[in-house]
């Protein structure tokens, strides 16, 4: 429960630090502040009764629908997960060959606890990719929906017909992403998808294809750090520095969403966002092997890290997964 509470609270610091400015601007902001206090007290009451967590910032901003788009699945053993995928006709090789069926709408909450004991590397890789692919597709789908909503709000703002409620939402989104105030181009460069092949490659690289203790014990797939004495996560046993932990998440979907927000908001990945914005301006598809060059700052290894990701994408033919889609609900 402690890791879940921390993951929920940590969604909000980018907004909370500058929230007071929004509150003081208009009556709607003051009303929102009162509502926030009420929700805070209600949250404490809910958590004390060990009920499900309240909505995260991702949901509150309208990125994630209230109705779940994926069916949550919790299975503790690799064999059980493998059987579930087989029952759903879910094979990576078929997707790479464009079978047209699509990816089943399954949200696996955590990797199997015996993931590291799968001795066949290829079997382990296939299980890892099938587990994460629906989560990446869903998070990207949410980002595309949010991007469309932002574009509509910006168009209404330019025409002078943006409502106070939508104006507040737009400013909240800009604050959460650290966009320059009033800079529409900067905001749009931050609210965008990432090629699934790139996300899958980073997850594989950072988690050792799902075998690291961070991935298995804390749902930490991308090596994101949490700072401070009160940070919830796992401390690296061999790190020279002792002032951070690898951040823990309540489930794998939360880890994927946080990773995408990190790429879309942190100043270290401006190069990636610039490369993506240029592709959008030219009207060309996003290409993982072009965007990966913008991740030099993700690791202290710099160019070597980029080279490792590039080889991982190529050797596993991950770019074949960039065009796949979630399965139609009627075909589930």
pLDDT band at 331 (very low <50, low <70, confident <90, very high): low
> Residue 188: its pLDDT value, please?
97
Question: Which is nearest to 56 in space by CA: 67, 48, 64, 44?
Answer: 64
Looking at the predicted structure, is the pLDDT value of residue 168 above 80?
A: yes
The verdict on pTM exceeding 0.75 is yes
> Residue 101: its pLDDT value, please?
83
Question: Which is nearest to 53 in space by CA: 44, 61, 62?
Answer: 44
Q: In the chain, what are the domain boundaries?
A: 2-324
Question: Higher model confidence: residue 36 or residue 212?
Answer: 212
pLDDT tens per residue across span 177-203 = 999 989 999 999 999 999 999 999 999
Lowest mean pLDDT among 34-43, 260-269, 308-317: 34-43
Greatest Cα pair distance, the chain, in angstroms, is: 61
User: What is the mean predicted confidence (pLDDT) over 42-59?
Assistant: 46
pLDDT tens per residue across span 215-247 = 999 999 998 887 666 767 767 776 566 667 888
Bridge partner list, 72: 107
Looking at the predicted structure, is the pLDDT value of residue 285 above 90?
A: yes
Q: What are phi and psi of 222, to 5 degrees?
A: -120, 10
Q: Are 319 and 197 in contact (CB under 8 A)?
A: yes
Sign of the torsion formed by the C-alpha atoms of 170, 171, 176 and 178: positive
* d(C-alpha 45, C-alpha 13), whole Å: 21
Out of 1.10.530.10, 2.40.128.20, 3.40.50.300, 1.20.120.420, the CATH code matching 2-324 is: 1.10.530.10
pLDDT tens per residue across span 60-89 = 787 876 566 899 999 999 999 999 999 999
pLDDT tens per residue across span 93-104 = 999 887 678 999
Strands 106-108 and 225-227: unpaired
> Residue 123: its pLDDT value, please?
97
* d(C-alpha 329, C-alpha 326), whole Å: 9
Query: 105: Cβ–Cβ under 8 A, 6 or more apart, which residues?
Result: 69, 70, 71, 134, 138, 326, 327, 329, 332
* d(C-alpha 11, C-alpha 140), whole Å: 18
Helix (H) or strand (E) holding 153: helix 121-158
> Residue 12: its pLDDT value, please?
45
Looking at the predicted structure, is the pLDDT value of residue 18 above 60?
A: no
């Amino acid at each position: 429960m402690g890791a879940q509470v921390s993951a929920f609270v940590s969604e909000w610091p980018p907004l909370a630090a500058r929230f007071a400015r929004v509150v003081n601007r208009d009556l709607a902001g003051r009303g929102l502040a009162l509502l926030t206090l009420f929700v805070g007290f209600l949250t404490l009451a809910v958590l004390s009764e060990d009920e499900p967590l309240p909505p995260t910032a991702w949901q509150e901003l309208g990125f994630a629908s209230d109705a779940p788009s994926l069916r949550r699945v919790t299975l503790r053993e690799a064999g059980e997960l493998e059987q579930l995928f087989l029952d759903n006709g879910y094979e990576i090789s078929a997707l790479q060959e464009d079978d047209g069926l699509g990816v089943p709408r399954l949200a696996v909450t955590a990797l199997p606890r015996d993931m590291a004991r799968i001795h066949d590397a290829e079997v382990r890789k296939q299980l890892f990719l099938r587990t994460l692919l629906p989560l990446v597709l869903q998070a990207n789908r949410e980002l595309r929906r949010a991007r469309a909503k932002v574009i509509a709000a910006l168009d209404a703002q330019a025409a002078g017909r943006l409502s106070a409620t939508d104006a507040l939402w737009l400013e909240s989104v800009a604050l959460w992403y650290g966009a320059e105030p009033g800079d529409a181009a900067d905001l749009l460069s931050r609210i965008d998808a990432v090629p699934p092949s790139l996300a899958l490659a980073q997850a594989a690289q950072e988690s050792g294809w799902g075998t690291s203790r961070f991935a298995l014990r804390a749902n930490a797939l991308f090596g994101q750090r949490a700072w401070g004495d009160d940070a919830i996560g796992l401390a690296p046993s061999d790190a020279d520095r002792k002032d951070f932990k690898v951040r823990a998440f309540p489930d794998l979907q939360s880890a994927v969403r946080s990773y995408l927000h990190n790429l879309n908001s942190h100043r270290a990945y401006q190069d990636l966002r610039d490369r993506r914005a240029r592709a959008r301006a030219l009207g060309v598809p996003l290409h993982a092997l072009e965007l990966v060059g913008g991740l030099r700052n993700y690791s202290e290894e710099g160019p070597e890290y980029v080279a490792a990701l590039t080889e991982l994408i190529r050797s596993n033919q991950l770019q074949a997964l960039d065009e796949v889609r979630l399965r139609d609900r009627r075909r589930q």
